[in-house]
Amino acid sequence: MQKKERVRLFVQEIWSWYENHKRILPWRDLPDTDPTTRAYSVMVSEIMLQQTQVPRVVITYRNFLERFPSIADLADASNKEVLMAWRGMGYNSRALRLRDAAKTILGNYELRITNYGNSAIRNPQPGFPCDLEDLMNIPGIGHYTAAAIRNFAFNIPTPCIDTNIRRILHRTFVGAENVDGSWEKDDRYLLEIAEEVLDEALKPPPPGPLPQPFAAATGRERGSADWHAALMDYGSLVQTKRNPKWGICPLTRAGIMRTTKKNFELRIADYGKLRNPKSEIRNQRREPGRTVGSTFIPNRIFRGRVVEALRDAPRGLTLHEIGKQIAIDWDPEEHQRWLKTILDQLTCETMLGTKKGKYVLPS
């Protein structure tokens, strides 16, 4: 099959699947009102979705926006307020990066023009940049998040690669993952494919009514936001990382995908043969942490436990009190130096403060 034909059929099958299996998520199909508000909502969702599964994000996302309904509200928030609102998410440093991004946007935004193809698109309202370079200059926002904001907030067609999109494009146009779980082609190569399929996906639809139930759900033509949502949903529900749903995969049925159930399972089997438990333990312990009982726990887990303990302690906790709450094997003589190092680092990152000899979430 020629690549051009594979691209065309790929787009056709993804759109067809999405029309019947679209997920309803609170950060999708946002009201077409103030673009700054819409972009802010998208930014919050994208930062939350980093390293966190959708079901956990849904609840926290709604609560977070109730607490900080505008980008100005978030920019004015203290570390403590942001960390309290982030409860249940983990990787708490993301919350402070998100707040700092809000500050940067309000302080540095300049109205600019962004180009896509032959069209010049002016950000319709000051308050949130839509130029890719401007977005990537905001600390904490990389290429994917910047592209996602353009796609989902401003509907500006912008090829991007996240975990799900990478997996679908590579399996379809290149092949299965390598035996060690890595990819034969890098994201630069896949971004070129992403742009090809995006161009195909946004071609004007054939004459006639919009396909159902898509038209009924949206009342408009399909755009860049819809296309990227379709890819993400397909990766989350069909072409999953470990257990792809080969029996219901329309790309497989149509012979579009280079990866098949057979060659995928062969790679998994080969990887299983290569696995060395002792080597895995050594690799795991390259990350700072310590063993509790027979289980190795990274320091990043203990960091999260520290913040969680302080959320429920408005008056603060001593080092010893924190140790007892976060480690079931707490021994002051053995573990005090280790915990002090973690607390000092969190304090340096402004995630903790001290008050009257106790650690607190900083106001």
Rounded-to-integer distance, Cα 347 and Cα 90, Å? 17
Q: Which residues of 190-214 are buried (b: 16+ CB within 10 A; e: fewer)?
A: bbebbebbbebbbeeeeeeeebeeb
Are residues 72 and 330 in contact, defined by beta-carbon separation less than 8 angstroms?
no
- Please check whether residue 188 is in contact with residue 166, taking contact to mean a CB–CB distance below 8 angstroms: no
46 is catalytic: yes
Strands (E), the chain: 113-116, 119-122, 289-292, 295-298, 353-355, 358-360
* Long-range contacts of the stretch 6-9 (C-beta < 8 A, 24+): 6/172, 6/173, 6/256, 7/193, 7/196, 7/197, 7/200, 8/200, 9/254, 9/256
Q: Do residues 121 and 103 lie in contact, with contact meaning Cβ atoms separated by under 8 Å?
A: no
Distance CA 60, CA 139 (A): 23
What whole-number distance in Å separates Cα of residue 50 and Cα of residue 97? Answer: 12
Q: Which of 5, 13, 19, 46 is catalytic?
A: 46
Active site residues: 46
